Every structure is written in structure tokens, then in C-alpha cells.
Amino acid sequence: MKKLRGNILDCIGNTSLLALRKVVPENGARILLKLESENPTGSMKDRMALAMIEAAEADGRLTPGGAIVEYTGGSTGVSLAFICAVKGHPLHIVTSDAFAQEKLDHMKILGAELEIVRSDEGRMTGKLTRDMIEAARVVALKAGAYWTDQMKNEDQIGAYHAMAEEIWLQTAGRIDGFVQSVGTAASLRGIGEGLRRRNGRVRLVAVEPSESPVLSGGEPGAHKIDGVGAGFVVPLWHQEVTDHIERVSTEDATAMAMRLAREEGLFAGTSTGANVIGALRLAARLGANATVVTIMCDTGMKYLRSYAAKHPRD
């Protein structure tokens, strides 16, 4: 039985690691999925939001009851709203209609004030990301709020070092590859660094949208994989951390998310679908005696309306 918790924040982390049974390659490596949907808001972003806020509280950048501002595609905003509700910080979120309405609703329910930046027909682009960043900068300047600035904030890296330790212990050190899609790049970098400290031979694979493959040298473009693919090389990206970059399309990521739901009973978002495709490709290369870990970034309940719209007769 799990122990009694004194605070909802104590429920962040220590999530399960699950072996996929059906969505696996023939004669390929074992694929394990870290179920970050078990965090309080249903997202891995709870870890980084707590780390960013507590680091700022500890060194005085954020005073008791001080206001916070951030730009976000949704999951980081929900996690920040959750942490701020518990800790008593007013929160101003800059977001967009390009992102799942469920996430925007969740942020508002948790008490965040939202500013919506209009997108180009619901698509995620580099221009949209830059517009959101600039809007957040202006709000922080005018309001004197603490700007968590997730694209540049290295306070979150420690949260992912801790996540790497969880993975290492759960696999008993038997891990040959790790795959993660790139948004801010903090999770891939932090988990990768943590795993490499334990075993320098662990292969690290980044995943980005094939419609906007800027990390692998391509041109920026529009895509609909929530939370990843900023459309430019993000500040926390370190090329040397990664062995390989996989390109995955929105269509393929969405199809894999549906397969996970129907074949594994795992209802996740499109970034998780992209992760699993990347993991399948690495598993095929590594062979049957290897183990690959990737992440179920969040729950598909955050995207329920969009999934239902795409599959109305199913």
C-alpha cells in the first residue's frame, strides 16, 4: 500500500514503468513506458513546474504570494497552475487556441489567468512560439511578476535527473536506449545526463515533428503534436547529448496514440505516440536482448475533444 501523503505535491513522481505487450516490434528490444500520466495533473510537467518554482522560492527570486507568468502550450501551464494553487501564487498564462481546449479549461479551473494568442488555423509554428514568448515577457515586465521562462530555465533539469534515477532503479540498470520528444529539450537532456552518469553507453534518441525538423537540419513548419517542435532550435537543446534524431509526422503520432489506446489500453497524447514510434525504431535497431525506455508524457484526457472530433463514428 502507498503511504499517507501530507501534501498533494508529495504525489509528484515515482511513477510506474510498464512493458508494452502488443505495440512492439518482432525480434526487437523490450519497450518500457514511464507512466507520467500518474502525476497529479496527469503530466510529466508537474515535476519541472515544482522544480522551477521551488528553486525561485529558495533563492528569493519568487517571494511568498508573488505572481508568476509563463507562456505554454498547455501541460506546463496546467502544472504551474496546480503548483501555484497549492502554494498561493497568482499565475498569468500566455497560451494559444492552437492547443487542446481541455488544457486551457484545466488552467482556468486551477485559478490561472489566461491570455490567448491567436494561431494560424490551429497550427503550431515557430512564429506562434515567439509571439507567446514576447507576450509573456511584456506581462512580466509590466506586472513585476516572476517569469519562469521554461525555454531557458535550467532549474528544471534537476527534476529530470531525479526521474533518470527512478528509471535506473526500476530497470535494475538494464537499459540500453532512451527516447523522448523535444519541446524545451529539458527532459531529454536531464534524463539523458542522469542515465549516462550510470551507463555511458545508453543510446539517447530525440524525436521531433517531421513537418518541422529543425533539430535535424530541416526547415521549420507547422504541425499538430502538442508540446513539442517549437519551430526553432531551443536554448536548452544540446546536440552532443543525443545519438540520433527521429522525425515523426503528426499523422503517424496520432495513429500510434490511437493504437496505444485500443491495443494496450493506454490513452495518451500525440507526443506519446511520437515517442513510441521513435522507441519502436530504436528497438528494431538494437535487437531482442535490449531494453528501450520512453515516456507516456500525459493522459489523453487532455485531448478528448480533438480525438472525438477526428474519430466521430468510432
User: 8-38+158-310 and 45-147 share one CATH topology?
Assistant: yes
Q: What is the pLDDT of residue 280?
A: 97
pLDDT in tens, 158-176: 999 999 999 999 999 999 9
CATH 3.40.50.1100 is the classification of domain 45-147: yes
**Catalytic hit among 45, 103, 224, 302:** 45
**Closest CA relative to residue 47, chosen from 159, 158, 192:** 159
Q: What is the pLDDT of residue 312?
A: 52
**Catalytic hit among 119, 212, 271, 306:** 271
Mean pLDDT, residues 197-211: 98
- H-type helices in the chain, by residue range? 45-58, 75-87, 101-109, 126-143, 157-170, 186-198, 250-259, 270-286, 304-310
Residue 109's φ and ψ, nearest 5 degrees, are -60, -35
pTM for the full model? 0.93
User: Does 254 score more than 80 pLDDT?
Assistant: yes
Mean pLDDT, residues 229-257: 95
Q: Which residue has the cell 505572481?
A: 67
Q: What is the pLDDT of residue 226?
A: 85
Match domain 8-38+158-310 to its CATH number in 3.40.50.1100, 3.30.590.10, 3.50.50.60, 3.40.718.10.
Answer: 3.40.50.1100
Percent of the chain at pLDDT exceeding 70: 97
Q: What is the pLDDT of residue 307?
A: 66
User: Does 191 score more than 80 pLDDT?
Assistant: yes
Q: What is the pLDDT of residue 126?
A: 84
Strand partners, 181: 207
Enter the DSSP assignment of 251: H
Strand partners, 299: 268
Domain boundaries, the chain: 8-38+158-310, 45-147
- Mean pLDDT over the full length of the chain: 93
Clarify whether 224 is annotated catalytic. no
CB burial readout 10-42, b (16+ within 10 A) else e: eebbebeeeebeebbbeebbbbbbbbbbbbbbb
Residues 6+ apart with CB under 8 A from 187: 44, 48, 160, 163, 180, 295
Between 50 and 97, where is the model more confident? 50
Clarify whether 216 is annotated catalytic. no
